[in-house]
């Protein structure tokens, strides 16, 4: 009786562990195939030298100082609305999109008041008073709502806060939370809640430690070699 055998052969990409290899495209974010640049040239659209500011840009997140939104805007949905709003649309008369008669200065002001609930000094309840920038609660709330985008100091230092210079940018060594706490709880002299006149509330007590940041981009701390 004759015997018949069946042999099955399979081919596999053993080097890539059977992964599916994606086809080259003009939208994969890498330079490959016959492209002359990243997703341009060759079979793709022509490469453009320099920066191209044409087209329509869609804002995704405008918060230049996230701590402002995190501290003064405690509602998650309102935080998202704040990030998507234009700075020019955060005034006392600008109603938040999706909300009736609610503005960001109003929200910020209410949250500022809430931070003082239950605090007292020498048995007397306390509330927000003019801070180190000279703002009362309403003025401070409006100022922070409308100036969250980082400003640029054309002449002067770039800093979150340094002596009389405020919000002209931010360096890695700037203590964002201490600055925020100082603005919330510090009086004109910045010492109302300094641990002597009241509970320590103008600093979180966390510094940068012994880290040394580089002065050039990407401004990272030097690696530790072992």
Q: How many helices (H) and strands (E) does the chain have?
A: 5, 4
Sign of the CA dihedral with 210 first, then 148, 80, and 181 last: positive
Q: Is the peptide bond before 51 cis (omega within 30 degrees of 0)?
A: no
Rounded distance between C-alpha atoms, residue 182 and residue 179, angstroms: 5
pLDDT tens figures, 122-180: 888 889 999 988 999 999 999 999 877 666 666 777 788 877 888 887 778 888 889 98
Whether this prediction's pTM lies above 0.85 is answered by no
Q: Record the tokens describing residue 38, joined without a space.
A: 């990243």
**Average confidence score pLDDT of the chain:** 80
Per-residue pLDDT at 109 exceeds 70: yes
Which pLDDT band, with edges at 50, 70 and 90, does 22 fall under? low
Give the side-chain half-sphere CA count within 13 A for 191.
3
Q: Comparing 18 with 183, which gets the higher pLDDT?
A: 183
Which pLDDT band, with edges at 50, 70 and 90, does 2 fall under? low
Most confident residue range from 59-68, 80-89, 93-102: 93-102
pLDDT tens figures, 209-218: 887 777 776 7
Of the listed ranges 95-99, 202-206, 207-211, the least confidently predicted one is 207-211
Which pLDDT band, with edges at 50, 70 and 90, does 111 fall under? very high
Burial 63-102 (b: 16+ CB within 10 A, else e): bbbebbbebbbeeeebbebbbebeeeebeeebebeeeeee
- 19 exposure class (CB count in 10 Å sphere: 0-12, 13-18, 19+): exposed
| Planar angle of CA 154, 157, 162, nearest 5 degrees | 135
For the chain, how are helix, strand and coil distributed in percent, rounded to 5? 25, 5, 70
90's CB contacts (< 8 A; 6+ apart) are: 82, 103, 104, 105, 145, 146, 148
Rounded distance between C-alpha atoms, residue 72 and residue 90, angstroms: 14
Rounded distance between C-alpha atoms, residue 173 and residue 219, angstroms: 10
Q: Token match 């020019």: residue?
A: 88
- At residue 22, the 3 state secondary structure works out as coil
Length of the chain: 226
Structure confidence at residue 200 (pLDDT): 92
Which pLDDT band, with edges at 50, 70 and 90, does 103 fall under? very high
- pLDDT mean over 118-122: 85
């Amino acid at each position: 009786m004759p015997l018949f055998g069946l042999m099955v052969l399979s081919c596999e990409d053993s080097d890539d562990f059977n992964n599916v290899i994606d086809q080259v495209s003009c939208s994969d974010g890498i330079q490959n195939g016959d492209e002359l640049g990243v997703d341009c040239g060759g079979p793709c659209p022509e490469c453009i030298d320099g920066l191209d500011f044409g087209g329509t840009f869609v804002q995704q997140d405008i918060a230049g100082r996230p701590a402002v939104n995190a501290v003064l805007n405690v509602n998650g949905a309102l935080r998202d609305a704040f990030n998507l709003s234009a700075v020019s649309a955060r005034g006392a008369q600008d109603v938040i999109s999706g909300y009736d008669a609610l503005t960001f200065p109003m929200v910020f002001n209410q949250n500022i008041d809430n931070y003082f609930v239950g605090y007292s000094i020498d048995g007397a309840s306390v509330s927000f008073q003019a801070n180190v920038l000279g703002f009362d609660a309403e003025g401070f709330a409006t100022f922070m709502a409308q100036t969250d985008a980082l400003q640029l100091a054309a002449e002067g230092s770039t800093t979150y806060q340094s002596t009389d210079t405020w919000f002209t940018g931010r360096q890695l060594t700037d203590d964002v939370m201490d600055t925020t706490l100082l603005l919330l709880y510090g009086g004109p002299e910045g010492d109302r809640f300094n641990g002597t006149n009241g509970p320590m509330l103008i600093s979180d007590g966390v510094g940068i430690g012994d880290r040394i940041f580089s002065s050039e981009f990407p401004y990272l701390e030097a690696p530790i070699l072992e």
